[in-house]
Structure 1
């Protein structure tokens, strides 16, 4: 496996084309819209006057959704094209979101602790993911909520394998490996790796979600998306800081 650094990963993700950013500017891609966003928003609950960190906010779509629900939002994004796009959207239609360009492992002063920190589909893309998770947890108030989403370690690359075979197939799980994508690289890590680390950081788990796609939504998705009806492609974890 290639020896990736955070800087190299940031540079790769930060070159994402503007066309991709525009296509996902409202509420993310199909999977985020139908599988991730509804669960995250349910877990977060009432956001009125709550201070939320969108850790690895990308093009800012989730930050804008959270601000629209009454949260005071800080979005951190290191990738250049994503950060620039998020700032541009805030300049065009201000919602009071503060965007900061920084590596999650090296956060500047963000103005005090947060009621909630969300890291959606971020940790799998970070070589030093433990440092990033630690920073997210330390940014919370005691009792604050940490939500993170990852590709489900048991069912990664579900969509392409389903399209090819009509079922899910895998041949490895226990070792870390790269998952190349069109705009960057994710890293496979086991379910226990993520869960054990968040508990080591002084959090207790409150909920795990493995969302499945509503069969009615398959009519609006790409070919092969019915795989998401049968198997979960994403894992969503909620935990509270106890120390």
Structure 2
């Protein structure tokens, strides 16, 4: 699985998340970028390919080892650091941009992780984070079963069991209020939908992603 997603992530990342993140980031030439909880390092490698100076932080041993191995095989100047987002070591100075993609929902102490990401930015730096859209987290299974989206609770935080561990449902306002309380100004929200042509081309895609957003992508700029 790590090898299959090493180039540009899975289907959803390729078609829904990556294009929006890269557009929001803009020109990365000589920009210092932190890939927070970088996983297997696929996004770090994409960013380095756009001339960014990249630091990737990953706590998981297997993922960290894979990312380091890929850097050894094909060096891109990426520095990988094994660390917890809530307890970041000295990473060599502040960053122009910090990205936390599909990370915060998996962290029980997520407010500490978000705070560390914001504090790692230069004043005026850009913080980007992506989460499963809080309104449509169960999009695929309910669409498959009912031909539409169904939910029976939203306002209460709860656990969502998954194949790789547990995620936590939190409301959209919870995430947005927290990032603004840390001295950031929201610059853009995105709720990407799947291109119908991509849905046809990929047998794993379903019609739901054409009609409803499964991801929320937030861009905020540090003002203090």
Question: Can you list the C-alpha shifts for 1:196-234, whole angstroms capped at 9, x where unaligned?
Answer: 000000000000000000000012323562100000000
- Work out which of the residue numbers 168, 187, 190 in structure 2 matches 1:209: 190
- Work out which of the residue numbers 73, 79, 95 in structure 2 matches 1:114: 95
The Cα shift of 1:183 comes to 1.2
- Work out which of the residue numbers 189, 212, 215 in structure 2 matches 1:231: 212
The Cα shift of 1:194 comes to 0.1
Aligned to 2:32: 51
Q: Which runs of 4+ in 1 moved over 2 A?
A: 220-224
Q: How far apart, CA to CA, are the structure 2 residues paired with 1:82 and 1:177?
A: 26
Q: Report the aligned-residue RMSD.
A: 0.8
Q: How far apart, CA to CA, are the structure 2 residues paired with 1:222 and 1:108?
A: 43
Assess if the C-alpha contact under 8 Å between 1:58 and 1:77 holds in 2. Answer: yes
Q: How far apart, CA to CA, are the structure 1 residues paired with 2:204 and 2:61?
A: 32
Q: TM-score, normalised by structure 2?
A: 0.98
Q: Alpha carbons of 1:100 and 1:117: their partners in 2 closer, same or farther (altered >3 Å)? A: same
Assess if the C-alpha contact under 8 Å between 1:102 and 1:108 holds in 2. Answer: yes
Stretches of structure 1 lacking an aligned partner (at least 5 in a row):
1-19
Kindly tell me the number of residue pairs found equivalent between the two proteins: 224
Pairing 1:48-127 to 2, within 5 Å after superposition = 48-127=29-108
Stretches of structure 2 lacking an aligned partner (at least 5 in a row):
none
Aligned to 1:7: none
The Cα shift of 1:160 comes to 1.5
Q: How far apart, CA to CA, are the structure 2 residues paired with 1:234 and 1:133?
A: 18
Assess if the C-alpha contact under 8 Å between 1:177 and 1:189 holds in 2. Answer: yes
Assess if the C-alpha contact under 8 Å between 1:67 and 1:96 holds in 2. Answer: yes
SS at structure 1 position matched to 2:3 = helix
Q: TM-score, normalised by structure 1?
A: 0.91
Aligned to 2:136: 155
Question: Can you list the C-alpha shifts for 1:142-176, whole angstroms capped at 9, x where unaligned?
Answer: 00000000000000021121111110111110111
Aligned to 1:145: 126
Q: How far apart, CA to CA, are the structure 2 residues paired with 1:222 and 1:144?
A: 39
